[in-house]
Amino acid sequence: MMKRILIIDEDNDWLSALKPFFERSGYHPSLANSYPEGFAILDKVQPDLIFLDIQPGNPNGQLLYKKIKGQDKYAHIPIVITSHTADTMKISNTDAFLKKPFQLSGLLSTLQHYL
């Protein structure tokens, strides 16, 4: 069975670029271009891993991270934080962090590590 990945990022161009990459790599990606949409589709998608972009100065990404990790039915899902700034590394218990821009090979190795 293909592993399911949920990508939550407000950059539609980035989402459009990542989807075919994940598909070619043998994963089933689901995309959400907002934090509320990402949380709303968690039950439907049942991801094996989440990529969550956190934007500097916008607390919603950090709040979503805490909301997901705070619920027993989602707490086991690894969340890889992506961001343009290293400030987001301050989130406690982060599974992994990738600073944008990053190489797709680094993205793939992070995926393989957690899946």
What is the overall mean pLDDT for the chain? 85
pLDDT tens, residue by residue, 49-101 = 999 988 766 778 888 988 999 999 999 999 988 877 765 555 656 777 777 77
Q: Supply the pTM of this predicted model.
A: 0.86
CB 80 within 8 A of CB 110: yes
Domain ranges of the chain: 3-114
- Give CA–CA dist 101/104, Å, rounded: 9
From residue 96, alpha-carbon distances to 13, 44, 82, 86 in Å are 23, 24, 9, 12
Name which of 78, 74, 100 is nearest 87 in CA terms: 100
- The CATH number of the structural domain formed by 3-114 is 3.40.50.2300
CA dihedral angle for residue 12, residue 44, residue 61, residue 106, rounded to 10 degrees: -70
pLDDT of residue 56: 62
